[in-house]
Structure 1
Amino acid sequence: MADTYTPPVYGTGVKATIQRIGGHLAGMIMPNIGAFIAWGLITALFIPTGWLPNEGLAALVDPMIKVLLPVLIAYTGGRMVHGQRGAVVGAVAAMGVVVGADVPMFLGAMIIGPLTAWILKYVDKFAEARTRAGFEMLVDNFSAGIIGGAMAVAGVLGIGPVVQVITTGAGNAVDWLVGNGLLPFASLLIEPAKVLFLNNAINHGVLGPLGVAQAADTGKSILFMLESNPGPGLGLLLAFMFFGPRAMRPSAPPAMIIHFLGGIHEIYFPYVLMKPRLILAVIGGGAAGVFTFMITGAGLVATPSPGSIFAYLAVTPRGGLLASLAGIAVATAVSFVLAALLLGFGRGEKEEPADDAPEPQSATAGEQSANGEPAREETQTRTAAKEA
């Protein structure tokens, strides 16, 4: 569920609302990361440009990315809204967006799965008090079947084509950035959206499908590397470890392990939200990494999910290892330097009080009478203590 992978969000402001939406989107993706890893490994190994090319096993790649993964996402989203019944109708409805478009429908699945479960939830509430005893199973099954089937048809005729138009528009924008050598500027949008917990929606909903289409033509795609690069987050956490608030410094090393080795980028988002100016550091690191990927001709054969160094190495094509590592290293260095500058190299942090530092006096001890003498009650207390 969403609250298993992202911090709980409180409040009703715009930022809280965006964070809450991002958390729900992440909640649909994160439980299915194992399926993404399985698809990524099969892709990296068995496609014609993979490590162990095999035409028969490579036939698994297309059905998994176009059918299995969207259905799993919709199933999880429906379960978040209305339990097992919501999961079933969400999966049924997802088949509509899968059939209604030629591109992987991650974004469409994120929409139609929870939406179908939400509709069934309110239909169940309406029918619960109006169903005669003994007819509950009949009503439950038929209501789920009718709603799931109707939403599948709606997915074929409406949601699928609309999402494909949106994805095509995003693809055209990315192609324009690539064609004009401006792809590093994509970090101006990607990095702030990541911090608002929209990283999985961006990576798997927009960049992933576009990268799949590009990799099908060229054997690799730089689009898989735009959001998933662990370098910017690693550089930020390094800066926090050396120059951040003293109370936060001990938390940075374990966060780096979770982020860089485990691929859970959400671990560094609260650090940026705590000091919003640090968004400039991750933007700079992300742009520098993308620029390095461009000039070295880097690319991956599939989405590195989760975005750990191990996932990167697993989906790196033959001959591309040095280019991938160079982009990660440059992004880390630039993010670290910028974050250190924005943190003032720790100059603004107060030293922790020494163990033998004098304790502050109480307010009573500091009270003075109008003529400068200590307060009467305090004087009497001290005199009694001395006599004792």
Structure 2
Amino acid sequence: MTTTTETKSGVSPRVVLQKVGTSLSNMVMPNIPALIAWGLLTAFFIPDGWTPNEPLASVVGPMIHYLLPLLIANTGGRMVYEARGAVVGVIATMGVIAGSDWLIAQENARLLEEWLAGGNAEADFSALGQVHMFIGAMIMAPLAAWVMKKLDRLWQDHIPAGFEMLVNMFSAGIFGFIALAAGFFGLAPLVNGLMTLLSNGVAALVNAGLLPLVSILIEPAKVFFLNNAINHGVLTPLGISEAAENGKSVLFLLEANPGPGVGILLAYTFFGRGAARASAPGAAIIQFFGGIHEIYFPYVLMKPILILAAIGGGMTGVAINVAFDTGLIAPASPGSIFAIFGVAARDSYLGIALSVLGAATVSFLLSALFLKIGKQDDGDIAAATAKMEQMKGKKSSVAGALTGASAAGAGAAAAADASAHTGPIQKIVFACDAGMGSSAMGATVLRKKVRAAGFEDVEVTNKAISSLNDEWDLVVTQKELTDRARQRTGSAVHVSVDQFMNSPRYDEVVELVQQRNSGAPAPEADGAAAAVGAGAAATAGANAAAAPDGAPRGRHAADRPADAAGSTPILAPSSIVLDGTARDAASGIDEAGALLVAAGAVDEGYVRAMHDREATVSTFMGNGLAIPHGTNEAKSSISRSAMSFVRYPGGIDWNGNPTTFVIGIAGVGNEHLALLQKVAMTFSDPAQVARLEQATTTDEILEILGDEEE
């Protein structure tokens, strides 16, 4: 079944579990360092630790009960709705934590009353412990952030100008209060019951000596990328609770043990054939020492019977760990042998070493047997890797180690790079050095094209490369920056462009979105309309969407978008020059920068940073427009958001590109983006560009850039 079919039908359990698992993993993984820090506190300073210390041990309880769940809540909320989602997610999760504590207190009071009524002494009473709300955070925070996002969309177009901050602050505060109450009375009882059920289930398996049987589920789940839902949704929360009580947990070792994978890879090293045998030794090093388990999945997919070897190895490792009563003090992520020993309980080193050795030995022997007795070809590792990436839904970060391909050497065309991400395209980001100028304009142009193609739910935004993470489906960068973007978003489709304004590559992106998200070819008429992006109707819609406050067209300069103080327009008449004197890019940057300095928006250091930015990558946008701006490091030189506009009627040479308009920008936050969006849509329309060329006054320039109907 293809990814498109699964997405369209929406009935594939594997895809659903993968998405759930990925979401859980994305919430937990960034906070692993905090879990490790808590584990080290536990290992050293609790009464049974290496160096008991009562004052420091007092941090252990609050950290696991409050800090760690709230960190996960912050991450989960931010994934859905950035900073605003993080805030309401944390508030809502605090309600779940407090609700759980209240329920436990009520139950303990009832149990104590029954205990005393039976004639027992209060000193002998065993109270219920706290339930740590990791699962509650992973449910409540994204849910609260999602609801907040939907609510904001209801009223975002109806807020009077000047009241945005008031509405945003109070709406988040009021909804956060409601979500807190909902978590306190609604979700807390459900999570308490779920944790009790899961804990009892694990205890029953341990008491019956059946814990090794979980490998029958975990090892196949790893190969099919379903393990995150089990690992981060169940094993990590339960393991943390167990470690809080006992100082360690064997549950952290059920999935992280590298023994089964390295056994399979060693078997290929000695008994494999062709490319599979040649690549197996390097893959074994990456898997065992680097902790990247997915590198052995293609070897299993080439010969599916090897899943039995993985199960056998996994069961052996678990059995040895149970026999030696081993455990980790915190999750080991990635599953490297170094990470595992780094968080091992002090009484578990020998048992863990034996469990890894035993798992690898059994896995190796079974794999060698299957490879020797079964029919074996030369091993198409490339095809198996492609199959693995198809199941994963995006490009593997270690695939190049198996196939000899380099991610950095992939083609620039979207069609050529489409294998980097095989699922639907839902999140597109334009990335540049500072994330505030050229990328914002490119995002505006493509967003309109994507909307015109009928994909309202596809997110198109812009960011600085330094703030990217591997959550994006498609990344657009200028060709000089693509390699930097790949380092942060290795699993995304990467599209390189020469300039951000009207690149023909945008039509390829729209076509790719249509193919991935609907499974249908691009409609000729609609696709052509979307590709042009310059007609009067399209421009009118774009300008209306870009308007920050819904004000009527033809506003006076004093009424145009202002800075945070609300007193000075971002583009003031004094910052507009109709006949520039520069003759090249360097003097054009000086002229545009001097206007920003004269406006009191930046200091001289920002102008130098504008030159540094141009030396790194050109700010020429196309259609005769350049938008010079400073580097990301120069934001401290900006005192307020501002723009400057310089026209060169005879044109200047901008590093080989004929340029008529230079717009300098300096942005604090997102204050300048509304006007920048208008600039983008104006310059995507040749008729509007002609009006700018013919304008004779600064008011005409402001009128064109702020016109919402033409």
Secondary structure of the 2:52 match is coil
Asked whether 1:111 is paired with 2:139, we answer yes
CA distance in 1, matches of 2:225, 2:148: 27
Q: Quick check: 2:36–2:330 contact (8 Å CA) kept in 1? A: no
Q: Quick check: 1:46–1:55 contact (8 Å CA) kept in 2? A: yes
User: Do the aligned partners of residues 216 and 73 (structure 1) sit closer, same or farther apart at CA in structure 2, a change above 3 Å counting?
Assistant: closer
Asked whether 1:281 is paired with 2:309, we answer yes
Aligned-partner residue type, residue 15 of structure 2? A
Secondary structure of the 1:220 match is coil
Aligned-partner residue type, residue 376 of structure 2? G
- Tell me the equivalent position of 2:24: 25
Segments of 5+ residues of structure 1 without an aligned counterpart are 1-8, 353-388
CA distance in 1, matches of 2:323, 2:276: 36
- Tell me the equivalent position of 2:35: 36
- Tell me the equivalent position of 2:53: 54
Give the TM-score normalised by the residue count of structure 2.
0.45
User: Do the aligned partners of residues 52 and 16 (structure 1) sit closer, same or farther apart at CA in structure 2, a change above 3 Å counting?
Assistant: same
Task: Kindly report which structure 2 residues correspond to 1:236-385, keeping only aligned pairs within 5 A, or say none.
Answer: 236-243=264-271, 246-249=274-277, 251-269=279-297, 271-272=299-300, 275-344=303-372, 348-350=376-378
Aligned-partner residue type, residue 105 of structure 1? M
User: Do the aligned partners of residues 160 and 195 (structure 1) sit closer, same or farther apart at CA in structure 2, a change above 3 Å counting?
Assistant: farther
User: Do the aligned partners of residues 190 and 99 (structure 1) sit closer, same or farther apart at CA in structure 2, a change above 3 Å counting?
Assistant: farther
Larger radius of gyration: 2
User: Do the aligned partners of residues 189 and 54 (structure 1) sit closer, same or farther apart at CA in structure 2, a change above 3 Å counting?
Assistant: same
CA distance in 2, matches of 1:202, 1:256: 24
Asked whether 1:206 is paired with 2:234, we answer yes
Asked whether 1:166 is paired with 2:164, we answer no
CA distance in 1, matches of 2:350, 2:203: 25
Q: Quick check: 1:26–1:197 contact (8 Å CA) kept in 2? A: no
User: Do the aligned partners of residues 350 and 200 (structure 1) sit closer, same or farther apart at CA in structure 2, a change above 3 Å counting?
Assistant: closer
Q: Quick check: 1:245–1:346 contact (8 Å CA) kept in 2? A: no
Aligned-partner residue type, residue 28 of structure 2? I
Per the TM alignment, residue 316 of structure 1 is displaced from its structure 2 partner at its CA by 2.7
User: Do the aligned partners of residues 267 and 140 (structure 1) sit closer, same or farther apart at CA in structure 2, a change above 3 Å counting?
Assistant: farther
Higher mean C-alpha deviation, range 163-172 or range 258-267: 258-267
Secondary structure of the 2:275 match is coil
Aligned-partner residue type, residue 316 of structure 1? A
Secondary structure of the 1:226 match is helix
1:249-285, Cα deviation, whole Å (9 max, x unpaired): 5554454444333334344445545654433222211
Per the TM alignment, residue 336 of structure 1 is displaced from its structure 2 partner at its CA by 2.3
CA distance in 2, matches of 1:250, 1:210: 40
Task: Kindly report which structure 2 residues correspond to 1:7-156, keeping only aligned pairs within 5 A, or say none.
Answer: 11-12=6-7, 13-101=12-100, 102-156=130-184
Aligned-partner residue type, residue 231 of structure 1? G
Aligned-partner residue type, residue 113 of structure 1? A
Q: Quick check: 2:247–2:329 contact (8 Å CA) kept in 1? A: yes
1:95-146, Cα deviation, whole Å (9 max, x unpaired): 1222233322222211111111111111111111121211111121122122
The alignment yields a C-alpha RMSD, in angstroms, of: 2.7
Q: Which has the higher contact order (CA 8 A, sep 6+)?
A: 1
1:154-177, Cα deviation, whole Å (9 max, x unpaired): 111121221221111111111111
CA distance in 2, matches of 1:309, 1:300: 12
CA distance in 2, matches of 1:145, 1:36: 29
Q: Quick check: 2:42–2:247 contact (8 Å CA) kept in 1? A: no
Per the TM alignment, residue 322 of structure 1 is displaced from its structure 2 partner at its CA by 1.0
User: Do the aligned partners of residues 106 and 215 (structure 1) sit closer, same or farther apart at CA in structure 2, a change above 3 Å counting?
Assistant: closer
1:6-28, Cα deviation, whole Å (9 max, x unpaired): xxx77533323322222222111
- Tell me the equivalent position of 2:261: 233
Higher mean C-alpha deviation, range 108-117 or range 184-193: 184-193
CA distance in 2, matches of 1:321, 1:242: 29
1:22-76, Cα deviation, whole Å (9 max, x unpaired): 2222111222222122122222222222222222212222222222221111211
Higher mean C-alpha deviation, range 19-28 or range 111-120: 19-28
Secondary structure of the 2:274 match is coil
Secondary structure of the 2:263 match is helix
| Equivalences, count | 344
Per the TM alignment, residue 327 of structure 1 is displaced from its structure 2 partner at its CA by 0.8
User: Do the aligned partners of residues 266 and 162 (structure 1) sit closer, same or farther apart at CA in structure 2, a change above 3 Å counting?
Assistant: farther
1:308-362, Cα deviation, whole Å (9 max, x unpaired): 222322333334311111011111112222333344478512399xxxxxxxxxx
CA distance in 2, matches of 1:91, 1:191: 34
- Tell me the equivalent position of 2:477: none
Give the TM-score normalised by the residue count of structure 1.
0.79
Q: Quick check: 1:74–1:87 contact (8 Å CA) kept in 2? A: yes
CA distance in 1, matches of 2:197, 2:344: 27
CA distance in 2, matches of 1:118, 1:270: 36
Aligned-partner residue type, residue 145 of structure 2? A
Per the TM alignment, residue 291 of structure 1 is displaced from its structure 2 partner at its CA by 0.8
Aligned-partner residue type, residue 164 of structure 2? E
CA distance in 2, matches of 1:86, 1:80: 8
- Tell me the equivalent position of 1:191: 219
Secondary structure of the 1:129 match is helix
CA distance in 1, matches of 2:146, 2:55: 40
User: Do the aligned partners of residues 60 and 268 (structure 1) sit closer, same or farther apart at CA in structure 2, a change above 3 Å counting?
Assistant: farther
User: Do the aligned partners of residues 70 and 217 (structure 1) sit closer, same or farther apart at CA in structure 2, a change above 3 Å counting?
Assistant: closer
Structure with more helix by fraction = 1
Q: Quick check: 1:242–1:346 contact (8 Å CA) kept in 2? A: no
Secondary structure of the 1:302 match is coil
Aligned-partner residue type, residue 107 of structure 1? I
Secondary structure of the 1:68 match is helix
Segments of 5+ residues of structure 2 without an aligned counterpart are 101-129, 381-710
Structure with more strand by fraction = 2
Q: Quick check: 2:18–2:229 contact (8 Å CA) kept in 1? A: no
Aligned-partner residue type, residue 212 of structure 2? P
User: Do the aligned partners of residues 263 and 146 (structure 1) sit closer, same or farther apart at CA in structure 2, a change above 3 Å counting?
Assistant: farther
Per the TM alignment, residue 300 of structure 1 is displaced from its structure 2 partner at its CA by 3.0
